[in-house]
Chains A and B, each alone.
Chain A
Amino acid sequence: MASRDVVHYNTPLQRVLSVLSVVFVIFYLIWTLLPFVIMFVSSFKDLLEAFKLPAVGDWAGVGVFFEFTPTLKHYQTLFSENNFSRYMLNSLIAAGGSAVISVIFGSLAAYSLSRVDFRGKSDLFFWIISTRMAPVVAVMVPLFAIFRSLDLVGTLPGLILAYTTFNLPFAIWILKGFFDNVPYGIEEAQMVDGATRFQAFRSILPLVAPGIGAFIVLCILFAWNDFLFAAIIGSGGAKTLPVATRELVQPQNIQWGAIMAAGVVTTAPMMLLGLVIRKYLVTGLTMGAVKE
């Protein structure tokens, strides 16, 4: 603040830079948001209207994009013919199930990892985190073989378990950071007052509750957006939204209208959730390495 008063640049260079940066931001915003606009608008267009393009180089003809009569038929086909309500439920159960399992088991493990020291703890920790970082395809090769012998392929429990492979280590890693920030003294004081160890643990849960809530949402987000596990382990009985959307692409007949509508249906809830937990998003997406 003070520096603004002391040193005030107003050189021509500075002015050029500020104009350039405004242009850059506007350009970037268009580049980021345009695909969403096209997806959203196209999902309400009849196919013939969605395929209308101005002639090459005819920049004035961009208005064609807005010439259409809105229709809901793509959303209707999605839910009436393509069974999307079922897939949505699958997505919800698989993502929610793995998120809840991960956070319950993960918070217990994270709490104890944060409170106790033992030899090989850092190795245990590295194992946990490397599970999260492993390439999904590589993890899936043996997991597929095991799940097939257990008859878990194509079932929701199988998919929940598969999602837990990345959500559980994530939960442990992040939640440990939360528990590290809660002073042990609080539990100590509780125990002096006669609480058992487990009651003391329960008493500090309200302090980490916002974080835990945010990370349930993040776990749901990761699982909901997954495609590979759902395509292989969930194939058949446990189709989720991204896989079902992908299956609208058929060699002879790509149902673009339905795909755009499915894209909106799949993306909109996650965007809302993302806004709700915005505060924790950077911490979550960088696995706790960067805090806002």
Chain B
Amino acid sequence: MTETLTGIDMSVRTPEDRFRARKVSTEVEARPLSAALPPPGRLNPAARKAYYFYLMAPAIALLAFISLYPFFWLIVMAFQKGDMGAVEWVGFKNFTDLASDDRFLSGWVLLFRYSTMCLFLQVSIGVLLAVVVNGSRYERFLVTALLMPMMMAPAVAGLLWLFLYNGTFGWYHWIFHSLGLLGSGSILSSAKTAMYAIVLVDVWQWTPLITLIALAGLKRVPRDQIEANMVDGASPFRNFFAIVLPNLYPVLLIAVLLRFMDNFRFIDHILVLTGGGPANATKILPVYLFEVAFKFFDLGRGAAIALVLLVVTIILGKILVGVFDRPTAGGR
């Protein structure tokens, strides 16, 4: 089927095109211009919009049921107290309570501290790795090896690291201890170090994603610019900061925003490794929400926290989609 199409330029649709003059006198007619596509409207009427809406309807309806409907429920729940069946309207009390809730506020602080540490390490290590791996003889092998951590379920990764961090038989604990970085206590048991332990796991699992994204970006850095710069006598460092990094910036922005939102989305590592402890040192906001809603089953308060969290995510998402749509981002 495709073979019959290769010769025909599908963009030739308007009447003017059909009667265009030859551009060059030697141009050979591979097909008679008179045999172009029929004008739209007669044999091939533009699709009725309704047809497409019918195709769309099942997915939209399903999505509405599992996303829009719950969202309205969430709003309703946020103004209620108590469980299903025995609910009581409490107005804005759930929200005003949050303002004086220390864990809610510290949850935000911890969330941003956690995200900042993760992102800083992931981006700096990830980009460095991408630059080194790019064009290497072993690139294919290295990239495949890098993919491995991302394929692992975060909860399982958490359990694996729980084993590695264990104060009596964990190999990583032994390594840290032998290097003198750590005392005999496990890294997870101290409120001071628990956050770093979790950041390390996140860095282990997701730095490769940044590397892959950066690699895709590096392939698109215009070679002529680098060459021109090198001809002008720039050092490799100068080359990197003046040419490569600015060209990499749009994809990196996407990577950072994606990872930032994932830090909101996934709390599997933390739930498995520390459960928010010790002494709430790792109780970032989503973990706190999990505890309120599914440990204490205070769904009203949970809904209020969830709503605030959702609003912030939607704002972040709006920014992200804006970046996606920017032509320089290499997206669609």
Q: Which residues of A line the B interface, CB within 8 A?
A: 2-3, 6-7, 9, 13-14, 17, 21, 24-25, 28-29, 31-36, 38-39, 42, 50-54, 56-59, 65, 101, 105-106, 108-109, 111-113, 115-116, 118, 124, 126-131, 133-146, 148-149, 161-162, 164-165, 168-169, 172, 177, 180, 183-186, 188-192, 197, 201, 203, 221, 224-228, 232, 241-243, 245-246, 249, 256, 259-260, 262-263, 266-267, 270-271, 273-275, 278, 281-282, 285-292
Chain A's nearest CB lies how many Å from the CB of B25? 29
CA distance A290 to B209 in the complex (A): 11
Say whether B55 contacts A108, CB under 8 Å.
yes
21 CB < 8 A contacts A-B: A6-B227, A9-B236, A13-B236, A29-B142, A32-B145, A33-B148, A35-B164, A42-B163, A51-B169, A105-B59, A108-B59, A126-B321, A137-B309, A189-B1, A228-B267, A228-B271, A241-B153, A270-B153, A289-B323, A289-B330, A292-B219
Chain B's nearest CB lies how many Å from the CB of A140? 8
Is B222's beta carbon under 8 Å from chain A? Answer: no
Say whether A145 contacts B77, CB under 8 Å.
yes
- The A interface, classified by DSSP as helix, strand, loop or mixed, is helix
Chain A's nearest CB lies how many Å from the CB of B201? 9
Say whether B159 contacts A267, CB under 8 Å.
no
Say whether B290 contacts A290, CB under 8 Å.
no
Residue of B at shortest CB range from A204?
B1
Q: Say whether, besides A54-B174, A197-B51, A266 and B150 are in contact (CB < 8 Å).
A: no
Segment at the interface with A among B16-24, B88-96, B191-199, B312-320: B312-320
* Residue interface mask B1-13, A partner, CB < 8 A = 1: 1101100101100
Chain A residues near B71 (CB-CB < 8 A) = 142
CA distance A232 to B299 in the complex (A): 14
Say whether A35 contacts B329, CB under 8 Å.
no
Known: A225-B152, A292-B212. 4 other contacts (CB 8 A): A53-B171, A109-B58, A128-B63, A282-B216
Chain B's nearest CB lies how many Å from the CB of A247? 11
Is B120's beta carbon under 8 Å from chain A? Answer: no
Is B117's beta carbon under 8 Å from chain A? Answer: no
Residue of B at shortest CB range from A207?
B2
CA distance A13 to B109 in the complex (A): 42
Say whether B177 contacts A56, CB under 8 Å.
yes
A-B pairs with lowest CB-CB distance, top 5: A185-B10, A109-B59, A227-B155, A112-B52, A138-B306
Say whether A245 contacts B148, CB under 8 Å.
no
Residue of B at shortest CB range from A281?
B147
Say whether A267 contacts B73, CB under 8 Å.
no
- The B interface, classified by DSSP as helix, strand, loop or mixed, is helix
Segment at the interface with A among B26-34, B37-45, B98-106: B37-45
Chain A residues near B230 (CB-CB < 8 A) = 3, 7, 9
Residue of B at shortest CB range from A180?
B332
Say whether A275 contacts B330, CB under 8 Å.
no
Say whether B204 contacts A31, CB under 8 Å.
yes
Chain B residues near A285 (CB-CB < 8 A) = 150, 209, 212
Say whether B213 contacts A290, CB under 8 Å.
yes
Residue of B at shortest CB range from A18?
B132
Residue of A at shortest CB range from B85?
A149
Q: Say whether, besides A54-B174, A286-B258, A138 and B160 are in contact (CB < 8 Å).
A: no
CA distance A217 to B43 in the complex (A): 40
CA distance A68 to B208 in the complex (A): 32
* Residue interface mask B253-268, A partner, CB < 8 A = 1: 0110010010011111
